[in-house]
Amino acid sequence: MIIETERLILRQWNLDDIDDLVEGLNNVNVSKWLANAPYPYTISDAKDFINKTIENNLYNFAIVLKSEDKVIGGVQICNISYANGTAGGGIWLNEKYQGNGYGTEAFAARIKFAFDILKLRRLENGYFKNNDRSHKMQLRFGYRDEGVRRQRFVSKATGNIEDEYITGLLKDEVKNLNDFEFKIIN
């Protein structure tokens, strides 16, 4: 499955992505916001992650910047329940590429894919306290704050015990997606 937006390609991870994956996640300013990304992030970590996504054929996409043909982050849809029409997931972006709208563009494609292609009715996300960029991006698309899972994770990057702030988005509450287009290539 390949999703194309104006500036990005979202596609399955492959072993050629190891260096870009390590570059993006071997940065505590990125990995501290992710529950399961260790710091330092090694080649071995990247190989394990990529092999698991390939084996499980997950909706776990590498975000490729078309102009540079470079992986700059990742976005996923996980914990899918077709019976309930729900899923979770998240996004991360290499710090060097933050602040250019790439994360927002990829996240919009993720939302549209989940609702239009997978036919889900609800998405749930989580974020750690003080990750204001993630929270603001979610609110932009209509996510609502729903609660806190206290002491939900031990961050692999920092070792800190983190609360997970939960947001949810219903298909009929989506906002601001018309600014973004995507197409499925295969």
pTM: 0.95
Across 21-32, average pLDDT: 97
CATH at 177: 3.40.630.30
**Percent of the chain with pLDDT strictly greater than 90:** 91
Across 11-40, average pLDDT: 97
One-letter-per-residue 3-state SS of 57-71: CCEEEEEEECCCCEE
Supply 76's token pair: 């996923």
Quote the CA–CA distance of 16 and 46 in Å, as a whole number.
Answer: 11
Question: How many folded domains does the chain comprise?
Answer: 1
Q: In what order do the strands lie in the sheet with 2-4?
A: 144-154, 161-170, 122-128, 86-93, 70-81, 59-65, 8-12, 2-4, 183-184
**For residue 49, what are the domain limits?**
2-184
Q: Model confidence over 71-101: pLDDT tens digits?
A: 999 999 999 999 999 999 999 999 999 999 9
Strand partners, 70: 65
